[in-house]
Amino acid sequence: MAEGTIEREILIEAPVEVVWRVLTEPEHLQGWFSDTAALDLRPGGAGRVTFDNRPEGELVDVQVQVESVEPPHRFAFRWDHQAGAEADPTNSLHVEFTLLSEGEGTRLKLVEAGFEQSGRESKIESHRQGWATLLPKLLDYAPAQSGEPTR
Amino acid sequence: MSTALAEDRLWAAIGEPSRRRLLDVLLVEGEATPTGLATQLPYSRQAVAKHLAVLERVGLVEPRREGREVRYSVQAGRLEEAIRLMSKVASTWDGRLLAIKRIAEQIHREETASRASNRSPR
């Protein structure tokens, strides 16, 4: 894994065209990504997603700037920059989805990068370093309910 | 203390590799004295004591006095919080990808079913 990068992939039993729609249509974005989503789906297009963590947390409003739209194989954007600012490597994180046909399904790959350039490296570094040895033990040790995924 | 500041301190405490090694040993031992920990790690007793103090400040370990000894143990609840914090970004994406999979497969099943019913004569 490259420095300051998160890489994930998953095999989906649906054709790339279907996965593409789920990835890019605001109606679906609200099902897997955020509580609200608005997106101008073209390179340079602006978008906005909100995460409603109330009442424990707050309403988080995140800016998105579309970078590449190559249906149905590649979708990339930058996010988490200040509202009104042009997204660039120093102020935002880069997210890229790649969709590859595999049999009758789709292999979906995700790469999120830019933790270092944008000064968010403390999070990724701590995540990456040392957990290989500690994590398996922690998983045995921590009570079962700790596995809840958080947004 | 604000949540963000508390999180930052937790990060700082657990972000240091020697402190993670120390926690690692402490998890296996259950409870240990600074001297006991120093024999199992390449750190002096003084260094171990310093690390323990940092971990204690953020609530990751708890001291228990027994006679002349102080024995330390890991605080499970606080450790869980730290783990959650550290895996937040990645687990976030794991959760999202699973959701994408679920939605896409559901759509695909529905569309396949509706195509099949359109084709078959009734």
pLDDT tens, residue by residue, A127-137: 343 333 344 44
**A118: which 2 tokens?**
């944008």
Confidence of residue A43 (pLDDT cuts 50, 70, 90): very high
Shortest distance between the Cα of B106 and any Cα of chain A, in A, equals: 9
Average pLDDT, stretch B40-61?
Answer: 93
Residue B66 confidence (pLDDT) above 80: yes
Q: Is residue B38 helix, strand or coil?
A: helix
The verdict on pTM exceeding 0.80 is no
CB burial of A71-101 (b: ≥16 within 10 Å; e: otherwise) equals ebeebbbbbbbeeeeebeeebbbbbbbebee
In sequence order, what are the residues at sequence separation of 6 or more whose Cβ sits closer than 8 angstroms to the Cβ of residue B3?
Answer: none
Contacts of B82 in chain A (CB under 8 A): none
Unique residue bearing structure tokens 């099949």:
B116
Average pLDDT, stretch A81-98?
Answer: 90
Maximal CA-CA distance, chain B: 87
Whether residue A26 contacts residue A38, with contact meaning beta carbons closer than 8 Å, is answered with: yes
Which of A6, A29, A138 to probe by mutation at the B interface, max B CB count within 10 Å?
A138
Give pLDDT, residue A145: 31
Give pLDDT, residue B5: 61
Percent of residues, chain B, with pLDDT higher than 90:
38
Whether residue B53 contacts residue B62, with contact meaning beta carbons closer than 8 Å, is answered with: no
User: Which of B86, B89, B104 has the CB atom closest to A19's CB atom?
Assistant: B104
